Amino acid sequence: MADNAHSEVASEIARHAPLLPVGRLDELLRAVTSADRVFVCAVGRCGLVLKMFATRLAQLGIRCYVAGDLTTPSIGDGDVLIAASGSGVTPTVVLLASRARMFGAKVIGLSAHEDAEFARNVDSVITLPVPAKTDPIDRKQSVQPPGSLFEQLLLCFLEEAILRLAREQDEGFQTIRSRHANLE
């Protein structure tokens, strides 16, 4: 099993990737490019994925902040919050999405569940139709630990968004390269 674990994971991602709602990428990108500022929020491993997304947005010159960081300003009209919760019920994400809307920001949610509690607090839900960590374990859907497949496909979906945005704004990735961290 250990010898082929990488191929099982790659096969699983490849099998589920065609289910990603790439038709919704334009909606996400319109929200990002029309916003004054972009904020992201998620917890756990989804939070790490959204931080990667925020990093690329910042490298493309988009003002982007991670909710909860000490240097994050207040959110308001003209801003957008991109929030992710595989289960759709992560308390912190549900609360922050609700507060962002209360302060006038547009909220786009990314979840495995279109109709979860989370959906009541966002303007639009983009559903990634894969199991989340709270779903019953079904080895036919995923051989990985709960949540892993959602997080991997969330990364793939957001990387596709970055690729499309970079093709429009940063031919050859020169801007990304010039803004890449140099205090490493």
The predicted model scores a pTM of: 0.90
184, part of any domain: no
Predicted pLDDT at 119: 86
For 46-105, how does the pLDDT look when each residue is reduced to its tens digit (9 = 90+)? 999 999 999 999 999 999 999 999 999 999 999 999 999 998 899 999 999 999 999 999
Tokens of 146: 């709960």
CB neighbours of 145 closer than 8 A, spacing ≥ 6? none
Mean pLDDT of all residues belonging to the chain: 89
Does the pLDDT at position 4 exceed 70?
A: no
Q: What's the rounded Cα separation, in Å, for the pair 158 and 57?
A: 10
Q: What's the rounded Cα separation, in Å, for the pair 161 and 56?
A: 10
Other C-beta atoms within 10 Å of 9: how many? Answer: 16
Predicted pLDDT at 115: 84
- Residue 151 catalytic? yes
First to last CA, the chain: 36
Domain hosting 75: range is: 2-179
Indicate which CATH number applies to the domain containing 40: 3.40.50.10490
Pairing relation of β-strands 106-111 and 80-84? parallel
Total domains present in the chain: 1
Overall average pLDDT of the 93-122 stretch: 93
35, part of any domain: yes
The closest of 176, 127, 167 to 29, measured between CA atoms, is 167
Instruction: Identify the bridge partners of residue 84 per DSSP, sorted by sequence position.
Output: 110
Q: Which of 151, 160, 171, 184 is catalytic?
A: 151
